Amino acid sequence: MKAVVYIKYGTPDVLHIREIEKPEPKANEILIKVHAAEATKSDCELRSFHFSVQWFWLPLRIAMGITKPKRQVLGGYFAGEVERVGKDVVKFKAGDEVFGATGLVGAYGEYVCVAATNTIAPKPHNMSFAEAAAVPLGGLNALHFMRRAHIQAGERVLINGAGGSIGTFAVQIAKSMGAEVTAVDSAIKEAMLRGIGADHFFDYAKEDFSQSGQTYDVIFDMVAGSSYPKCINALTSKGRYLTGNPRISHMIRTLFTNKLTDKTATFAFAGEREEELLALKEMIEAGTIRAVIDRIYSMEEAAEAHRRVETEQRVGIVVLSIG
């Protein structure tokens, strides 16, 4: 089978097409013919081994390969069709159209084996494979954090880094909960973000939202380098701050915020549960949320896809068409 592989860490140019052995499903696994995979910032970080959040660098390097990658096919989120199931699998059958998570890597190949217990669900009937592949990463994380925020109708929610995979879904989910949503990102993303429901917009290059005089009931922060004190000060009394890209200093500060103020701060990571993926499927089929796709690249264009992700010029999610 064909796969996009990398045999050393580095720039997008380390990605190339190679014929590799087609995997065989174990008793508890399903073999999926992959039709599309999201090209994520995490894929780019694994490829280069340069992370915006540094504290897990060493354990991940040991797990993934110290001098070169142990597992050479990237891709954590996919949409495709079940080709075969292991003898112990009863939940899926050949021909099922599915979407979900591989666990970490593997979706940049024409076939991937994943455990039947992974976060996988039937593909929404009103989505293409490319659209469905763009859902799990952003949708699962956004739903996790928006639920933890306990948003009430009429509350003011600010999403910092709203134009990324997670942010675009967070905007839509917060709106579905009845919030008044403010998005913060670059100017090129304003029209898209307003189109999916943002009521207000800050171009971070021109204006600091924390200096605007506005306060928010919820701030969801996806920007690793943002100022923790500024975000906390921009909260209302009993406001909630959630960060999806925490630094160690932010983690420590949340303890003091929760102990010494009437505000709440959390950095709890998404568990990517099947129930959440099924909830997203229902929301998609009801027309409540959708995937915002920037561009779809072929396997041969994987390096270009990674460059697109890394420039942060994308207006939506970048997808690889597999096969």
The DSSP line for 135-202 is SHHHHHHHHHHHHHTT--TT-EEEEETTTSHHHHHHHHHHHHTT-EEEEEE-GGGHHHHHHTT-SEEE
- Whether residues 181 and 74 fall in one domain: no
Residues 131, 222, single domain; the answer is no
Kindly state whether residues 122 and 142 are assigned to the same domain.
no
- Residue with token string 């209302």: 236
Give the model confidence (pLDDT) of 1-21 as tens digits.
Answer: 999 999 999 999 999 999 999
| Cα–Cα distance for residue pair 142/270, rounded to 1 Å | 9
In a domain, 280, yes or no: no
Q: Both tokens of residue 223? A: 């920007």
Asked whether residue 271 is assigned to any structural domain, the reply reads no
CATH code, domain with 245: 3.40.50.720
Half-sphere exposure of 31 (CA within 13 A, CB side): 15
Taken as a whole, the chain contains a residue count of: 323
> CA 115, 120, 122, 123 torsion: positive or negative?
negative
19 in any annotated domain: yes
Per residue in 95-112, pLDDT tens? 999 999 999 899 999 999
Least confident of 116-120, 177-181, 232-236, 309-313: 309-313
Interstrand relation of 111-115 and 97-101 (parallel, antiparallel or unpaired): unpaired
Q: Do residue 130 and residue 151 come from a single domain? A: no
Q: How confident is the model at residue 29 (pLDDT cuts 50, 70, 90)?
A: very high
With respect to residue 281, please indicate whether it lies within any of the assigned structural domains: no
Q: Which domain holds residue 211?
A: 137-266
pTM value is 0.94
The answer as to whether 278 is a domain residue is no
- State residue 52's pLDDT score: 62
Whether 107 and 214 map to the same domain: the answer is: no
Half-sphere exposure of 93 (CA within 13 A, CB side): 1
Cβ pair 170, 296 in contact under 8 A = no
142 lies in the same domain as 131: no
The answer as to whether 279 is a domain residue is: no
For the ranges 53-57, 63-67, 85-89, the lowest mean pLDDT is seen at 53-57
Domain count along the chain = 2
Work out the angle at residue 304's Cα, subtended by the Cα atoms of residues 292 and 17, and round it to the nearest 5 degrees.
115
State how far the Cα of 299 lies from the Cα of 227, in Å rounded to an integer: 38
* Beta strands at 2-5 and 16-19: parallel, antiparallel or unpaired: antiparallel
102 and 156 in a common domain: no
Same domain, 213 and 306: no
113 and 15, same structural domain?
yes
- Same domain for 93 and 144, yes or no, is no
Question: b/e map of 89-107 (b: 16 or more CB within 10 Å)?
Answer: beebeeebbbbbbbebbbb
127 and 204 belong to one structural domain: no
Query: Looking at residue 119, which CATH number applies to its domain?
Result: 3.90.180.10
Judge contact between 245 and 145, C-beta under 8 A: no
Residue 247 in any domain: the answer is yes
Residue 46 located in a structural domain: yes
The residue written with tokens 């455990």 in the block is 115
pLDDT tens-digit map of 214-273: 999 999 999 988 999 999 999 999 999 999 887 788 888 899 999 999 999 998 888 899
Q: Which amino acid is at 117?
A: T
Question: Which residues, 6 or more positions from 213, have their beta carbon under 8 angstroms from its beta carbon?
Answer: none
Distance CA 146, CA 171 (A): 9
**Do 198 and 143 lie in a common domain?**
yes
User: In which element (H, E) is residue 278 found?
Assistant: helix 274-285
